[in-house]
Amino acid sequence: MAEAVFHPPRRKRRVFESYDSPFPVDVGGKDFRICQAEIINNNVIVRNPEDIERLYNKGYFGKGILSRSRPVYSISDPLLVTKWQGKLTSHLFYLFTRYQCHVQWAKSILQQQGFDDCSVTKILENYTKPLELPFLEEDGAEQTGNSCNRMGPNTENTELSRQSSTDTGNVVALSPENQNEGCKKVCLEGDPAFDPVAICGSKEQEQGDLKEIAEVSCQKHGFHMDCGCKAKESTEERSCEMIKSKECAPEYVLVQEEEGGSLCPGDDSAHAQENLVKKEKLVCRRNPFRIFEYLQLSLEEAFFLVYALGCLSIYYGEEPLTILKLWEVFSEVKPNFKTTYMAYHYFRSKGWVPKVGLKYGTDLLLYRKGPPFYHASYSVIAELVDDNFEGSLRRPLSWKSLSGLNRTTVNASKELMLCYLIRPSDMTEKEMSTPECMKRIKVQELIVTRWVSSRERSEQDEL
């Protein structure tokens, strides 16, 4: 058996972030925090935005349920951030996309509930009407305006315009954490019957709304609008629930839209349409259909955070699960969990960032530092064997299947690794029922490389 040759990891050409930390824990313990997750349909989900940011930025644990890896569905679009930079108070907004799709989704939900087209149009127009939001003057002071159209640095009005040919529909959203400050400047008008979540309006209007309507945000449909659900709780209980629940608060977005263009001076009517200058503006509106992106952890990642780092608590219902219970539950959900977790624990401890290798037909992919910095170096298949390298293999490989898997891995500029987890022959199933069994497990790595006869012959000739 030849000795494996180490190939350095391939760094990505474009890296847009800096490396923070390998784990979501601090060495000194000053900023130690226990994150919370819950089991939903045999998946481990993290809902708290602060926990999501901490777990992914420090160690790249999990993936966004609406994104390829990093949870970026509701994060600012870099192009629009650069485009409107310095024109708004940066702590009051973040970018959002597909606003028109959300309006259509809200319209479909209302139509399914039996509302006619006229009522649906009236509700959406009232809910998504332009609102007032703060701006920044040239000296940095805040000012307000009904719409944001910028004509130039020397004008006195509050218009924010951009002469461009970009498409409409790009949206900028106010972050839920900073809505309280922005809500003070928001003007909410219209019929309260079609504006049941106008919690940022005046106190008199809020009292009138609570007396006239008995409608709350529907948890079933997940968006904040009049959905026909009748409230059984008192007005005080409803107020407390809406304050406590961050997800029940309305979300304010800045929509980039095109307004009526102006003609360049000196143009005749024949070339009027050709010389029409399109202007863009930002309009503050409410999002009628909110979508929350959560962080989904693999079973191996979740157990590593609980068992190895102690920085995660997993709940099923209202009860947190113990380490032994998680080991038992995860083994039932995924029969080969013990094997894959041992391999995950081993490589994580070595400094690698293992991710699910399903796309390449393997158990794990090994990254140096994290997926944003380097391409995966190895595709790993984990097998649990005894001292004699015997046992019931999870996926017995023939020479044909092994050659095909190795060719797929090489074409993706990776190397195929077989990770053998060697358990002592005298280890019983009772010992395997607890994670303490890993103390007696040995690991042997085997890198599979395709032997090319012509290349081997040329190397010998050189020698």
Q: Is 375 a catalytic residue?
A: yes
- In this structure, the number of other CB atoms found within 10 A of the CB of residue 380 comes to 26
Give the separation between CA 23 and CA 26, rounded to whole angstroms.
Answer: 8
Contact 216, 238 (CB under 8 A): yes
Q: Is 414 a catalytic residue?
A: yes
Contact 227, 238 (CB under 8 A): no
User: Residue 458: which H helix or E strand, with range?
Assistant: helix 453-462
User: Parallel, antiparallel, or unpaired for β 378-385 and 415-422?
Assistant: parallel
Closest CA to 23 of 323, 247, 310, 433: 310
Contact 95, 77 (CB under 8 A): yes
Name the strands in the sheet holding 352-356, side by side, starting at the edge strand that comes first in the sequence. 352-356, 364-368, 378-385, 415-422, 442-448
Looking at residue 122, the DSSP 8-state letter turns out to be H
Tell me which of 341, 367, 374, 378 is the catalytic residue.
367
Tell me which of 58, 63, 224, 414 is the catalytic residue.
414
Tokens in use for 154?
Answer: 């020397």
Tokens in use for 350?
Answer: 């070595």
Tell me which of 73, 246, 375, 420 is the catalytic residue.
375
Name the strands in the sheet holding 94-96, side by side, starting at the edge strand that comes first in the sequence. 94-96, 171-173, 252-263, 276-286, 162-163
Give the separation between CA 435 and CA 412, rounded to whole angstroms.
Answer: 34
Tokens 């959905």 -> residue = 227
Residues annotated as catalytic (active site), given as ranges? 367, 375, 414
